[in-house]
Amino acid sequence: MPTLVGVEGGVFKKHGIELNVNYTRDGQTAMTALISGQMQFVTLADPSVTTAALRGADDEWVAVNVPAPHLVMYAQPNINSVEDLKGKKIGVTTLGALTALMARYIVTQHGLDPKKDVTFLAVGGGPEALAAIASGQIDAIVTAPENPAPGKKVLVDLTKIGYPFPQAGLVTTKSMVKKDPQLVQDMVQSFAESTLLFKTNRTLSEQVLAKTLKATLKSSGVVAKNYEGTAAALSTDIVPKAAEIQSVLDLIAGTTPQAKGAKPQQFFDDTFAKKVVLPSASPS
């Protein structure tokens, strides 16, 4: 959303960038488009970024504006604890997505074996996951807290644990950094300003949200709820941190052997974000 608000607010044009925003289905698709050169930058969540780099891709984080999980686990009303998920089905976007990683983290923290005690089903993200839990196809999902799940309970609220994790940010390739460092700097600066614009210009942000969600501004408070949740999750300190990437490495070490012993500094370049200078905000 900050990127779209930045486009609408003229932030990228101000820095000489004609930004073409394209949607991808999931993190793996986005990473494929980046590595192939079809896209020069992507915004997405780990573990897609770090996993691709561990497998030999030259991608890296250059900015992180959601530095902690902004997710909840919804469950069927008969599920009273994470332990009750033993023998149950958990819906995730894809088996290698952020939702799957966080679902494995949750069940492991509660003494369940993610390989034996629960079954993960790839049901898609957002609307697809909500439809799957509404129909009873699955017993729990991990999704954004703004996504409505009538009749379901919040089993775990990851927004309250303060766990460092790169849920959203800007990713490019080391090749791009070497080829055109000024473009990377302009993109990171624009990304930071767009994040600030989203947080401080609610009117513009809600208009873009309404258009994206295909909802009216008064539609059951959906737009307002999405704005408030997103604004709360965003940080204007977009410098990637080693602790965020270390969390990813720790979480994927069980399924990705290359993560063991890897150093978080291999997966991000913070030089561009550290040079960002934000303008004075004018709330609206």
* Structure token pair of residue 220: 């059951």
Least confident range from 68-72, 178-182, 189-193: namely 68-72
The model's pLDDT over 93-148, given as tens digits with 9 standing for 90+, comes to 888 888 999 999 999 999 999 999 999 999 988 889 999 999 999 999 999 898 88
Q: What is the mean pLDDT of residues 29-42?
A: 94
Q: What is the DSSP letter of 268?
A: B
Domain 72-160: CATH superfamily is Periplasmic binding protein-like II (3.40.190.10)
The one-letter amino acid at 162: G
Sheet with 168-173, side-by-side order of all strands: 42-44, 168-173, 59-66
Cα angle for residues 148, 153, 154 (degrees, 5° grid) = 85
What CA–CA distance (Å, rounded) separates 19 from 12? 7
What CA–CA distance (Å, rounded) separates 209 from 62? 25
Q: Where do the domains of the chain lie?
A: 10-68+165-200+234-274, 72-160
244 burial via Cβ count (<10 Å: 0-12, 13-18, 19+): buried
What mean pLDDT is reported for the chain? Answer: 93
Other CB atoms closer than 10 Å to residue 33's CB: what's the count? Answer: 15
Least confident range from 26-35, 133-142, 264-273: namely 26-35
Cα angle for residues 248, 252, 255 (degrees, 5° grid) = 170
What CA–CA distance (Å, rounded) separates 224 from 244? 29
Record the pTM.
0.88
Cβ-proximal residues to 173 (8 Å cutoff; 6+ apart), any chain: 34, 35, 57, 58, 59, 60
Other CB atoms closer than 10 Å to residue 144's CB: what's the count? Answer: 17
Which of helix, strand or coil describes residue 92?
strand
* Structure token pair of residue 147: 């996504």
The model's pLDDT over 185-216, given as tens digits with 9 standing for 90+, comes to 999 999 999 999 999 999 999 999 999 888 76
Strand bridging mode 119-122 / 89-92: parallel
Answer for the pair 158, 110: CB distance below 8 angstroms, yes or no: no
Give the position of tokens 């980046």.
Answer: 34
Architecture of domain 10-68+165-200+234-274: 3-Layer(aba) Sandwich (3.40)
Q: Which pLDDT score is estimated for 157? A: 94
Same fold, 10-68+165-200+234-274 and 72-160: yes
Cα angle for residues 223, 228, 229 (degrees, 5° grid) = 100
